[in-house]
Amino acid sequence: MIVTVTLNAALDRTLTVPNLQPGQRHRASAALTLAGGKGINIARALKRLGVPVVATGLAGGGTGTRILEELTAEAILHDFVRIRENSRTSTAVVDPMASSYTEIYEWGPAVEPDELDVLREKLRYLAGSADFVVFAGSLPRGVDTAFYAEIIRELNRRGVQTVIDAEGEPLRLGVEAEPYLVSPNDREAEALVGQEFNGDEDFLHALDRIAEMGARNVLITQTSGCFALLREERVRRRLRAAAPRVDVVSGVGSGDVLLAAFIAARLAGRGGEEALRTAVATGTASTLEVGAGCFEAREATRLASAVEVVELEPVPS
C-alpha cells in the first residue's frame, strides 16, 4: 500500500476557455471539479494504475467536506484529519487554442498544533502498513517548514520508504532528512541548488548535488521529460528520459502522474530505466486531457515505446 499526504488539500476547479483574452468576458466551454492538491493528484493516478493507496492529510470546513465527497465518489480510499478552518479552492483556466493554462490558488487554512498532533498519530498508524509514504505539496499556514523533515526521519527509522515532492524550505529540509526519493520540477530544483539550468550538464550537477544533500534517488521533472539519479545495487545511474511530442490539452498535474507511475513501477519490481520510461509515458498521457491526475492507461502504453531513455555520464568534479 502507498499512503499519500496532502496537508494543503484543495477543491480544484478547471475551466476550459478557448481563445482566452485577459480583460474580456468569456463563457467556459467545459468545467471540471475534482478533489485536489499534489498528494491527492498522486493518489488519483495510483488508483488508475491499480495500486492500493490511501490519501490522508488535512481537510476543513464546507470545502473540506466537498473534497472528501469527491474522493469518495472516485472510490479513492481516504482518512483525513478534519480541521477548523476552511480548506482552499484553486482554479485553473485551460485555453486549448493556445495550449496554455493559468492557475490561481487561494491561501490555505491556518492549522492549530492539536490538529497537527492528530495527523502525526494518524501517519504513524497508516505507515505501519505502507510500502511508501508520499509527502506532496505546500504546507498550510501555521505548519513549521520542518514538518516534512521531522516525519520523514521518524518513518525512516521505522523502515518505511519516504518520498517528497514540495518546494522551498520544506523541500530543502525534507531532502536533508534522507528520503528514498525526491521529485522536484526543474524550477523547484533550480531554487534548491541555487542555479539556473541551461543544459544537460547543469541537470547532472543538480542531480548529484541533491543526492549529496541526502536524497537516495532524484527525479527532476520537465514538460519535455525527466532527468533521474537512481541507485541500483550500490551504483548511481544518471538517466534522461525525453517525452514524445503530443498536442497538449493541459499540463496541470502531469508531474504528479509521472511520480505516481514511477513509484508504482518500482513497487512492482521494475528496473530504473523501465520505471522511468513508464513514468514519463504516463505523465505525457495525462497532458492529453483535463483534470490533474487523470489519464488513459492505453495512451500511456502507446506512448511508452516513443520515450527515449539514455544514460548520462557523471560530470567530472
Q: Between residues 21 and 258, which one has the greater pLDDT?
A: 258
pLDDT at 140: 93
pLDDT at 98: 82
Sequence spans of domains, the chain: 2-17+29-312
Instruction: Express each pLDDT in 232-275 by its tens digit.
Output: 878 899 999 999 999 888 788 899 999 999 999 999 999 999 99
Question: DSSP letter at 119?
Answer: H
Phi, psi of 263 (to 5 degrees): -60, -45
**pTM for the full predicted model:** 0.94
Confidence of residue 106 (pLDDT cuts 50, 70, 90): confident
Does 292 score more than 70 pLDDT? Answer: yes
In the chain, the DSSP E strands lie at: 2-6, 10-16, 30-36, 53-60, 81-83, 88-95, 100-105, 132-136, 161-165, 181-182, 217-222, 225-232, 235-242, 308-312
Burial class (CB in 10 A: 0-12, 13-18, 19+), 82: middle
Task: Check pLDDT > 80 for residue 6.
Answer: yes
Query: What pLDDT, on a 0 to 100 scale, did the predictor assign at position 255?
Result: 94
Burial of 25 (0-12, 13-18, 19+ CB in 10 A): exposed
Residue 315 confidence class, pLDDT cut points 50, 70, 90: low
Q: Are 243 and 280 in contact (CB under 8 A)?
A: yes
pLDDT at 56 over 90: yes
**According to the model, what pLDDT value does residue 47 have?**
97
How confident is the model over 107-124, as a mean pLDDT? 95
Residue 317 pLDDT > 60: no
Indicate the average pLDDT of the chain. 94
pLDDT at 88 over 60: yes
Tens of pLDDT along 187-229? Answer: 999 999 999 999 899 999 999 999 999 999 999 999 889 999 9
Regarding the domain with residue range 2-17+29-312, which homologous superfamily does it belong to in the CATH classification?
Ribokinase (3.40.1190.20)
Residue 107 binned pLDDT confidence (cut-offs 50, 70, 90): confident
User: Is pLDDT of 316 > 80?
Assistant: no
Q: Where are the alpha helices (DSSP H) in 49-146?
A: 61-73, 113-127
Phi/psi-derived region of residue 180, left when phi > 0, alpha when psi is between -120 and 50, beta in every other case: alpha
CA atoms within 13 A on the CB side of 207: 26
Above pLDDT 90, what percent of the chain?
Answer: 81
